[in-house]
Amino acid sequence: MTSDGKAIRPWSGPKGPAGWGLGDGQAIPWEYAPAPESRDIAKIRPQYGLFIGGREVPSSDGATFTSVDPSTEQPLAQLARATTADADRAVRAARRAQSRTWGRLHPRERAKYLFRIARILQERSREFAVLESIDSGKPIKESRDVDVPLAAAHFWYYAGWADKLEYAFPGRNARPLGVVAQIIPWNFPLLMLAWKIAPALAAGNTVVLKPASTTPLTALLFAEVCRQARLPGGVVNIVTGPGEIGMHLVTHPDVDKVAFTGSTSVGKLIQKGIAGTDKALTLELGGKAANIVFEDAALDQAVEGVINGIYFNQGEVCCAGSRLLVQESIAGPFIDKLKARLLTIRVGDPLDKNTDVGAINSRAQLEKITELVAAGTAEGAEIYQPPCDLPDRGFFFRPTLFTNVALSHRIAREEIFGPVLAVLTFRTPDEAIEKANNTEYGLSAGVWTEKGSRILAMVSRLKAGVVWANTFNKFDPTSPFGGYKESGFGREGGMHGLHAYVSLEDR
């Protein structure tokens, strides 16, 4: 009975985990009321142009494409579909701004522009968060608490470097490379924009950025921020359009540097595209991270870390901990804990403040995930999905966990980029290292143990650019991020992130 005397409505949902004081497998005796964030703060215009030379312009042939709300499949806006002539115009605007204004500006003043941008992003943070969740499908609590604050923090951090480059590169003159073409993915649209634009501008470069076709809206709102900050025209140019426009920018003769975040297959095309030229390149590509849990780990913390590692942002994260390597002695109980925890994950409306897993970004991505999960079952792995309801419309996928996975299975080798965890086991640290490194990727890894010396021993043998110890998916503008092997090269964030945007000359 509740306090007002009404009978508790029988819970038709999943059973609760053991150890909650409810009795083993007893029903969770509560429901969540809807807690939607208001959409009103994000004003979506019916039509958006390109942002070139500080002005919004239509594409030269007037063509457009549609961005869709992945949680409702409803169209959100019409976007200008850039032509190669538009891309050329953007590069020209960037070149002009680099040689006439931005490149000549005193570094102290460059810094102040970037601080302004950081401040405006902070001031308009909720607007950005709501728009990001609408356009990308990610839960509002993630866009609000992770994507947008980190994006502002990146501008903040690199603003301070703009007039301190001599301390980042002692004894050398750090000069801008010139015009930078930047191509970013749809999983963290604004954050990837910040990772790209902030260090490039701090070092005195100008940029032409192409956002992903399914998530262009926050980039175009960022264009408005540039205007609000009175950033000189042409310093930041944003062109929306298909992948061919990105490739056109990559191969454009007046582009000095290319920065790309996305799939390894496209990364290879880009690396080939600049072969034989003097263009600089950084690539942040795919991953298949191992999250390694030893028997002495704090298991409840490790459960949270593993869950966060793979289901954060629907698993659409290049550094997602998509392979769990759990020590055999604790595999049974640990998997039980994971399954119990999965029951409490809330899948649904990205704008609901209680949602843990939102919408998959696009139909194409949903189909890819579906196909790989089917392959997992076909190859003999054992699937587990919590029995939660999914919305009737929109691109949703149940959080999924596979056991009995072999290292040769596709779900253990290919980047799924979805909420799908493959569980493998190991007996010794050597075996864990062997399995963790047995992939062409090398972006990130996780280690869970209470023994510090073991963490560091694992760290020294893992072939990954970021290793999280007793935590996962932590990001900070001061902390370099990037991969080994086919996960790419170059680092974003920290002092090392500046390196990608300067040419070092003798004093």
Q: Which residues are catalytic?
A: 284, 318
Question: Residue 223 and residue 414: Cα distance in Å, rounded?
Answer: 35
Both structure tokens of 115 = 């601080």
Q: Which is nearer to another protein, 154 or 409 (CB)?
A: 154
Q: How far is the CB of 144 from another protein (least distance, A)?
A: 18
Minimum CB separation of residue 229 from another protein in Å reads 14
* Tokens standing for residue 504: 């070092």
Decide: residue 274, CB within 10 A, 0-12 exposed, 13-18 middle, 19+ buried. Answer: middle
Minimum Å distance from CB 64 to another protein? 40
The contacts of residue 6 (CB under 8 Å, 6+ apart) are: none
Classify burial at 376, counting beta carbons within 10 Å of its beta carbon; exposed 0-12, middle 13-18, buried 19 or more.
buried
Q: Which two tokens stand for residue 108?
A: 């102290």
For the bound state, the minimum distance from the C-beta of residue 454 to another protein, rounded and expressed in Å, comes to 5
Binding residues vs another protein (CB under 8 A): 108, 111-112, 115, 153, 156-157, 159-164, 167-168, 429, 452-454, 456-457, 460, 477-478, 494-495
Asked whether 437 and 463 are in contact (CB, 8 A), the reply is yes
End-to-end CA distance of the chain: 79
Q: Looking at beta carbons only, is 246 or 494 nearer to another protein? A: 494
SS3 call for 230: coil
Closer of 122 and 503 to another protein (Cβ): 122
Nearer to another protein, 27 or 469 (CB): 469
Which of 160/232 has CB closer to another protein?
A: 160
Tell me how far apart the alpha carbons of residues 183 and 445 are, in angstroms, rounded to a whole number.
25
Choose between 12 and 453: whose C-beta lies nearer to another protein: 453
CB of 446 to another protein, least distance (A): 17
253/434 Cα distance (integer angstroms) = 43
Q: What torsion, rounded to 10 degrees, do the Cα atoms 334, 338, 341, 346 define?
A: 170
The minimum distance between CB 114 and another protein, in angstroms, equals: 10
Residue of 151, 142, 144, 132 lying closest to 476 (CA atoms): 151
Residue 349, amino acid = D
Q: How far apart are CA 229 and CA 221, in angstroms?
A: 13
- Distance (Å, rounded) from C-alpha 201 to C-alpha 105? 11
